[in-house]
């Protein structure tokens, strides 16, 4: 991925487990904990099941975040998008979402916890709340 931030991506390795767990714990667990106790067991199961769909974001050799996407026909689902605090509010998230939108798809879908400040971020990018699933919003953006 070429971009103005000099960020590269690579496949997730088993050795990325601690990085992904810590970033997940510090970024999303505070929102989750408003409704239920975050579970390392649930995280472990998700990591084992989805590791091959995760891309690690790098600035030089430093891991700065990760994302997970899945394409199903003409819909791209963003399962995960996490950036280290140091790299938030720099335009990287917007760049990544624009990057996802540039692929040959008709719609992007994602879920975000209803108490997460990211809801406003996605709304600013044109995503609309289409449904509610428990304590999460299902958000979508039609592209074509």
Number of compact structural domains in the chain? 1
What does the pLDDT look like over 26-43, one tens digit per residue?
999 999 999 999 999 999
Q: What angle, rounded to 10 degrees, do the helices at 17-27 and 40-50 form?
A: 130
Examine residue 1 and state whether it is found in any structural domain, yes or no: no
What does the pLDDT look like over 63-73, one tens digit per residue?
999 999 999 98
DSSP per residue, 68-108: EEEEETTEEEEEEEEE-GGGTTSSHHHHHHHHHHTSS-SEE
- What's the mean pLDDT when you consider all of the chain? 94
pLDDT value at position 116? 95
What does the pLDDT look like over 96-131, one tens digit per residue?
999 999 888 999 999 999 999 999 999 999 999 999
- Rounded to an integer, what distance in angstroms lies between the CA atom of residue 43 and that of residue 60? 27
Which CATH number do you get for residue 39? 3.40.630.30
Examine residue 47 and state whether it is found in any structural domain, yes or no: yes
Examine residue 2 and state whether it is found in any structural domain, yes or no: no
Which residues form the domain of 138? 7-142
Examine residue 68 and state whether it is found in any structural domain, yes or no: yes
- DSSP designation for 109: E
pLDDT value at position 103? 83
């Amino acid at each position: 991925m070429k971009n103005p931030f000099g960020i590269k991506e690579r496949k997730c390795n088993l050795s990325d487990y601690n990085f992904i767990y810590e970033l997940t714990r510090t970024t999303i667990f505070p929102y989750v904990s408003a409704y239920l106790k975050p579970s390392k067991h649930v995280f472990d199961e998700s990591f084992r099941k989805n590791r091959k769909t995760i891309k690690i974001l790098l600035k030089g050799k430093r891991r700065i975040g990760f994302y997970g996407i899945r394409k199903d026909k003409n819909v791209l689902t963003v399962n995960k998008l996490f950036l280290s605090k140091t790299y938030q509010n720099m335009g990287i998230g917007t760049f990544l979402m624009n990057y996802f939108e540039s692929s040959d798809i008709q719609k992007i879908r994602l879920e975000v916890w209803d108490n997460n400040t990211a809801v406003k971020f996605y709304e600013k990018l044109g995503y609309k709340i289409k449904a509610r699933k428990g304590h999460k919003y299902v958000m979508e953006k039609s592209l074509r």
